[in-house]
Structure 1
Amino acid sequence: MSSYTISNTKLNPNRVFILQKSEIEKRLDPFYYVPELLELERKVLAKQPKKLRYYVKGIASGATPKTAEVEKYYSDEKNGKPFLRVQNLSPTGILEFDDCKYINEETHNGMLKRSQVSEGDLLVKITGVGRMAVASVAPENFEGNINQHVCIIKTGNKEISETLAAYLNSDIGEKLASRRSTGGTRPALDYPALLSIPIIEDKRILEITKKVIEQKKQNEAEAERLLSSIDNYLLGELGINLPEPPENTLGNRMFTVSLKDISGGRFDPFYNQEYFKGLFNAINNCKYEVISLKQAITKLSKGTEVGSKEYVSDGFSFVRVADMDDFNIKVNSTDKKISANTFHKLKKFYKPNVGEVLYTKDGTIGFCVVVEKDEDYIISGGILRIATNDNFNNYLLKCLLSLNLYKQLSDRISIGTVIKHLTLNDWLNIQIPIPPLDKQKEIAEHISGIREQAQKLKDKTKEALKEASKKIENILLN
């Protein structure tokens, strides 16, 4: 075999290569023997590293309680424990809670007791597409839990966990982890493979990572300041002067209403708070004519539910409420996929069109995004598709519905405790300002500019991470 060579120099040597029979280990898949990865492994092993298992005092992974039994297993942020998934892990080593689920105390201390997470624990992604072994460390005073796609490693020392996270999040760590993963459409790391990753100890790795984290915090703070300014700008342009929210005192929480005012309507106290009357007055007294939300809409429909039997490991994205926020439709990172056959059956009715406004009506109510790209995905039943008429700018409608003011009004007319549901008829009767079209366009373009500035700050963090990874590789291998 050693006499054979590949003469075609145009071929990628990491995709087409010859392997000696004596070089084959237990694995037969080609990716494990990619020359680039073999060379990296050789360089790392030359540093006489310890294996990850050396640092492990305990290891476990969680499970996902049935989403069909929400009342039994899940809770809200105020009353529950964070239920961490892959999307909550970050290559900075810091947990991100923007899209976090919560489980109740009974689930945390019962069904998922073995996978409880506390301060200083190392959390590592062990299943899923994209970067493998993304790692984060549980912050101070943290109590939470994880699903089956994440594992918890007890190191007994927060600094050790942070150093390991910094190493695993580097390109070196990711490549070594990916080499050990198995599975085609949904790669996975079993415990022996994960614990066999060679670790080069060097405190400079953590120092570099901490600098990136500090820059990330600064960039995010500035981006948040910019995004927060959108509400004040839009309210000012529309001439909406909001009343001061009442102090959270017992006296303000106690009030009376006459029976005739609530007869035939809702009896819950939150719905009938006096504060909401002030919000309605502020809208009606704005600079411009007001119309009902339904008067700005020409087409309204919702997505569908395909059922868990239709989910596949690799296919077209099935976008649910958890895959949206006020700025993005996370098409490429959805947890759920459907087959090509199912997608083509449903796309005529449930694939969003460019220019439509998507709005979440169940669970987390009020996330709102304009569809800007023609992409192939189906939306779930918890998401509305909205088309505006010719007199209303679609992006302005998105900005209005994303205002905290309109989130409060949507929350007011929702029903349900653990999972909330929007009452559509009431929602469509909410009043909104309608400026002249040229003013609508001016406002929409200004807000779009603010969002672009915020996105550039977030992009700086990504660039800083790439730079840090290069520095770490240089330190470890040279």
Structure 2
Amino acid sequence: MIVLEIKRSKLGKLRRLDPEYYNPELLRLEKSLEGALSLGDFVDIRVGRTMNSDIKKGEFHYIKTGDFKEGGVDLGQCFRADNINGVDLKVSDIVITRKGSVGNAWLVNVQGGGALISSEVFRLRAIEDALIDSSYLAAYLESFYGQAQILRLQSGMSIMSISQADLRNVKVVFVGNKDEIAREYKLASDLLVESDKLNKLAEELFNDSVLFEKGGSNLRSGFKVGISEIKKNDNFDAQFFIIRSAIKNVVLLNEISEICSGTEVGVTNYQDGGVQFMRVGNITKCGFINKSQQYISKQLFQELKERYQPKQNEVLLTKDGTPGVAMVVTGDIDAIISGGIVRLKVGSSNISPYYIALSLSSKYGQEQIRALVGGSNIKHLKIKDIGRIKIPILSIEIMEEIAKLVQKSIKLRKRGLRLKKEVIKNIRI
């Protein structure tokens, strides 16, 4: 155990008592950055506002800390709000989380222009006439130098946060290859935007095809839904009932895939390195993320891999905690899945795992899952209920087109994330 002794005289005016503030490595970094410009010298920093928001109402996306994903913000899951004295965004602004998971940064793109931010988030906008490239600044804030300073300046007990004044004091260094870093970071951001566009195209093609196949388009003129149906489905969303009524040809998930549950290894088998133990928080519809990652020994992996290792072209689906998150395994993964995840081993040659994952992530799939979820404290799906989820069967051509769009979206996203990490790593002082 390492013990740091700090004299009272060294506490200064802040009287900070949290150990991280006096981390020797962070103190050395602070000293090395003396004389550098502060973020507040050339950037206007605003805190967002707490506003009434609703997932189905409002003209603008309303960004909170929970909307941040690896590589940016998931606008598709944002609540909506009306711009009544809200703090709005423009292209090339930078958004950074101030509360909860502090320090996540996003360079605002065309899709995010006009969005609003909550009180959990800061907006950074270059002061007029300030010669600063927002792409470089976003990369710097995500680099070791930006994140280390934010880590030291954040405070709190159960929920961490950073103050506006402290963020202004973050030191910024402009390295010699800053223009190259800005270009590469912008390219990475553009790849991620293109990935999101392709995934949205796939979702739109799915919804439109479901509505127009088998005469579903006739429902656009109107239809009736009984109160009992609304109560049964706990849903008042017209689009859900339109899609559900339009679908004439479906298969159950257990008819086209083998559903294999994960396992629990126990915390005593966790270790600092080794083979990944995938938990619910590591699964997103965009792929695997290294978040609060746990590891097990290679020996234990060898014992468990036959039953619990994710294989190429399988679909991973979360069933506990946050049920209904689906991702495609693009290649065999040296990992073991936890009990909160199931593997869907797709058996039909006519139905791509990419199409199944998109169907599960769609409004139609998510509403089915929501209706099947049980549990008062921790939400969960039973294996038998997962098998009852209905997958719409469209024409082979349409399903293949949807699968190709999803597959291309995933490839672009991987390229964008890989490039972004390389760029951030190349910032050296």
Report the TM-score range of the alignment, normalised by the length of the smaller protein: 0.5 to 0.7
Q: Specify the code of the residue in structure 1 equivalent to 2:380.
A: H
Match of 2:335 in 1: 377
**Aligned residue pairs, count:** 314
Any residues of structure 2 matched to 1:359-378 within 5 Å, and which?
359-378=317-336
Match of 1:251 in 2: none
Match of 1:354 in 2: 312
Q: Is the partner of 1:156 in helix, strand or coil?
A: helix
Instruction: Give the structure-1-normalised TM-score.
Output: 0.50
Distance 1:85 1:445 in 2: 26
Deviation (angstroms), 1:403: 2.2
Q: Aligned-pair RMSD on alpha carbons?
A: 5.3
Q: Specify the code of the residue in structure 2 equivalent to 1:227.
A: N
Match of 1:156 in 2: 165
Deviation (angstroms), 1:281: 0.7
Distance 1:237 1:83 in 2: 31
Distance 1:146 1:314 in 2: 28
Q: Structure 1 residues 354, 448: CA separation in 2 closer, same or farther (over 3 Å shift)?
A: closer
Quick check: 1:89–1:95 contact (8 Å CA) kept in 2? Answer: no
Distance 1:134 1:217 in 2: 18
1:409 aligns with 2:392: no
1:135 aligns with 2:158: no
Deviations 1:346-376 (A, max 9, x none): 2222112222221111222222222222232
Quick check: 1:325–1:368 contact (8 Å CA) kept in 2? Answer: yes
Instruction: Give the structure-2-normalised TM-score.
Output: 0.55
Match of 2:253 in 1: 293
Q: Specify the code of the residue in structure 2 equivalent to 1:318.
A: F
Distance 1:208 1:147 in 2: 40
Match of 1:307 in 2: 266
Deviation (angstroms), 1:335: 1.5
Match of 2:202 in 1: 230
Match of 1:345 in 2: 303
Q: Specify the code of the residue in structure 2 equivalent to 1:324.
A: I
- Bigger Rg, which one: 1
Distance 2:425 2:410 in 1: 23
Deviation (angstroms), 1:145: 6.0
Distance 1:235 1:87 in 2: 26
Deviation (angstroms), 1:463: 5.8
In the alignment, structure 2 segments of 5+ residues that lack a partner are 1-24, 39-53, 56-63, 74-92, 103-119, 124-142
Quick check: 1:283–1:431 contact (8 Å CA) kept in 2? Answer: no
Any residues of structure 2 matched to 1:53-452 within 5 Å, and which?
95=96, 135=147, 156-161=165-170, 163-164=171-172, 167=173, 220-238=192-210, 239=212, 257-258=227-228, 270=234, 276-284=240-248, 289-297=249-257, 299-330=258-289, 335-395=293-353, 396-416=355-375, 419-435=378-394, 440-452=399-411
Q: Structure 1 residues 272, 441: CA separation in 2 closer, same or farther (over 3 Å shift)?
A: closer
Deviation (angstroms), 1:96: 7.1
Q: Specify the code of the residue in structure 2 equivalent to 1:432.
A: I
Q: Specify the code of the residue in structure 1 equivalent to 2:324.
A: G
Q: Specify the code of the residue in structure 1 equivalent to 2:356.
A: L
Quick check: 2:244–2:364 contact (8 Å CA) kept in 1? Answer: no
Q: Structure 1 residues 154, 342: CA separation in 2 closer, same or farther (over 3 Å shift)?
A: same
In the alignment, structure 1 segments of 5+ residues that lack a partner are 1-40, 56-76, 102-116, 121-130, 168-201, 247-254
